[in-house]
Structure 1
Amino acid sequence: PAAVVYRVPSADSAVDLANASPFGLAGTVFSDDLDKAKKLAERLDTGMVWINSTSRSAPDLPFGGVKRSGVGRELAKFGINEFANKKLIRTPQL
């Protein structure tokens, strides 16, 4: 694995830079201000965001990305639906 680090002038610039990527698997926000970090995490166009931690998952948590990093989720109740074949049968109202 490799990581690229960019220096940007503001949090808004960091969000713009991150969201400009064609990929969106996951991101991490580091901050001493937890409320500010949560608001920033909500603005990231990724499938997952960790706050003050590196990527850590568990079987009971959904895992997946957006954009060119995939569609849908694995694991947890969201993952089960990805592997289920569902059928809609509808009859007209009389």
Structure 2
Amino acid sequence: MLLEDFKVLENKRVNGNYFLMKLSSQNLAEKCKAGQFFMLKMKNEITILRRPISIHNVDKQNGVIEFYYEVKGRGTIEMADKQEGDLINLQGPL
């Protein structure tokens, strides 16, 4: 299990309140398996608890981890605001 900051490559609205976030992580992508998830921590004082988000897809060749999520509360609202180049702290895979 790893605890580290990762760079947002892309975070786009797919449809309605659903978003697809892609993070860069060559070393970690190679270790991910179907059914695993990460605990994501936003960098602010409002959202204290990490958010469990399951892996949507892993591109091991390019070192990209994808998360498909629905915006429902404060944590995922903040996730949806993340832009390319921003950092997100991940704990996992679990």
TM normalised by structure 1 equals 0.24
More helix by share: 1
Query: What's the TM-score, normalizing by structure 2?
Result: 0.24
Q: Which has the higher strand share?
A: 2
